[in-house]
Chain A
Amino acid sequence: MTAVTSLPPSPARIAKKTAENSKTISLILDASIPAVPGQFAMLWLPGVDEKPFSIAGRDPLTFAIANVGPFSGALHTLKPGDTLWFRGPFGNGYSTAEGRSLLVGGGYGAAPLHFLALELMAARGERGSLPTVAIGARTEADLLFIPRFRALGLDTHVATEDGSAGVKGRVTDAVASLLDSRRFERVYACGPEAMLEALGSLCAGRSLPAQLSHEAYMRCGIGLCGACEHGGRLVCMDGPVFTVPAESGA
């Protein structure tokens, strides 16, 4: 497999399809791209639509897709051997660094975090610490990648809004108690806007740098059209990962 940065959409075969939870599948492609965790690609099905998805693995190129609408529904119908088109990688991903890190995912926002955990583990020094993970969802069936994080031997905290798994409440509640009891150098997160906002304030209150990956409706994906604007910033070009506050000397 050759690593390519795709300009127009490139076709790739689906090598494998796995179920991750009640509504999420992983599509593993017969392709690889030079991506870092947090970057995204535009997935295209001719005649259907094209939308941005977090890259969940670089080699082989992998996407975790929750069935939440007509296009993700169409992606769910694909089988191994079928063709899926992608262009990317686009945007700025997470910047990894040594030190104790906390990975926070809400709902299908956990999609890039397993890839990130693998990168952090690969980059860590001999005595470097393992990342801690906190994943939240509405209910147990919506939790994503918990077995994968645990299989990596990572301390994985779970919160569900209905209390069906882990602690009852929002993932930010679990994060607040983690931040009170342990020291972290940085927080990496991906999830709904409300979660990112709450997490941003939690981290700001503790002067803890947080890299937050935002989701946005995208059209061009290449910094031109302005469709994904988020307070004067373009999620596709300036993000999707934004650091708050900006890390000095990083």
Chain B
Amino acid sequence: MMGARGIDLSCSIAGVKLKNPLVLASGIWGTSPALLLRAARCGAGAVTAKTCTLAPRRGHKNPTAVDWGHGLLNAMGLPNPGVEEETEMLREAKLLLAPLGVPLIASISADTSDDFGRAAALIARAEPDLIELNISCPNIQDCDHGIFAGHPQSAAAVTRAVKSALKSVVKIPCIVKLAPNVPSISEIALAVAEAGADAITAINTMPGMLIDAESGRPVLANATGGISGPALKPIALRCVHETREAVRVPIIGTGGVVTGIDAVEMIAAGATAVGVGSAVTYRGERAFALILSELEGWLSAHGHGSLDDIRGCAHAKAQAVATSNPPPVPGWERG
């Protein structure tokens, strides 16, 4: 999409064209065709539906989400109507989104690799443009040792299971959504890329907890939840940077993007597209339009014509700093 300032904001995720890099993150609004359409009309370049599982889930009790001043903390517990109803919902959403040219991303989760494969094959009937594998939700115990995104082997096994389940159905690229709470996100990224991931979303929320001093109890009914919003941004930037160092697949950089400058930083870290979620709480539905206009304004003010001009620039600079010999800080020798 050429914006008002003549800047090309388009990008491409595994062959799927986006007119701008903003992707509605999973778990935000994606519960109905009307809300997905609303995000698209508000300016999202692609929209991700709420994660669904084979069987319906009620989710956790309230409180499920709170704003704590530096970010949000949530533990919804993946409430969803199950893959059958979700497939119908996505079919309807797809029809509504088609005239706008906004791709639809389905999101699935499961307890086993095989069930991930089954869920992928079922959701593929709605022909979403992309399928995101949520192997990193911090609020459910999805395999014996925590989350699938916690280990290279389990993350790769899920990716392989989905790729093989989809092979016989239809060619839909897969995005694997990684977790920040791992010793080395590069190892996981490499493992899923080798297993056939077409793209990576980095990152899911960071596990955290809030305690109410007065009652001495955790605030969320689930006790722990996932941190999102501004507090997550530095963690997300580091994860996107490390992931980009490890793999070449496109990355949807997600975590704490609230302004256009946050988006610039995420793309500088190596992201191809940028997830937008908690920003909706901070800036309302105008978040997408505001972020786009700020991003475009920044690129224009800095003489850039497209996102490619800045993509991954933080890597080159980091290398330049590492190999140069910085002058000593005055007074440093005297201690």
Contacts of A11 in B (CB 8 A): 212, 214-215
A44 vs B220: C-alpha distance in the bound complex, in angstroms? 10
| A46 engages B50 (CB within 8 Å) | no
A90 vs B35: C-alpha distance in the bound complex, in angstroms? 20
Contacts of B280 in A (CB 8 A): 223-224
A-B contact pairs, 25 of them (CB 8 A): A8-B68, A11-B215, A44-B62, A44-B63, A47-B217, A49-B221, A85-B214, A85-B215, A219-B59, A219-B64, A220-B65, A220-B76, A222-B65, A223-B280, A224-B29, A224-B72, A224-B280, A226-B29, A226-B32, A226-B35, A226-B50, A227-B79, A232-B35, A232-B38, A237-B285
| A42 engages B63 (CB within 8 Å) | yes
Contact of B37 among A42, A51, A219, A232 (CB under 8 A): A232
Contacts of A118 in B (CB 8 A): none
Q: Does B69 contact A (CB under 8 A)?
A: yes
A50 vs B219: C-alpha distance in the bound complex, in angstroms? 10
A/B pair count, beta carbons within 8 Å: 99
Contacts A220-B74, A224-B28, A225-B27; is A8 near B66 (CB within 8 Å)?
A: yes
Give, as a whole number of angstroms, the nearest-CB distance from B287 to chain A: 10
Binding site for B on A (CB under 8 A): 7-9, 11, 42, 44, 46-47, 49-51, 83, 85, 87, 218-227, 229, 231-232, 234, 237
Q: Which residue of A lies closest to B217 (CB)?
A: A46
Main secondary structure of the interface of B (DSSP, over half): loop
Q: Which 9 A-B pairs have the closest CB atoms?
A: A232-B34, A226-B31, A220-B65, A50-B62, A11-B214, A46-B215, A50-B63, A46-B217, A222-B281
A232 vs B281: C-alpha distance in the bound complex, in angstroms? 16
A145 vs B123: C-alpha distance in the bound complex, in angstroms? 51
| B63 engages A229 (CB within 8 Å) | no
Q: A8-B69, A46-B217 are in contact. List 5 more A-B contacts (CB 8 A).
A: A8-B210, A224-B65, A225-B28, A226-B28, A226-B50
A87 vs B68: C-alpha distance in the bound complex, in angstroms? 11
Among A87, A227, A231, max chain B CB count under 10 A is at A227
Contacts A226-B32, A232-B34; is A9 near B219 (CB within 8 Å)?
A: yes
| A227 engages B67 (CB within 8 Å) | no
Tell me which residues from 31 to 46 in chain B have a Cβ below 8 Å from any Cβ of chain A. Answer: 31-32, 34-35, 37-38
Contacts of A225 in B (CB 8 A): 27-28, 31, 64-65, 74, 76, 79
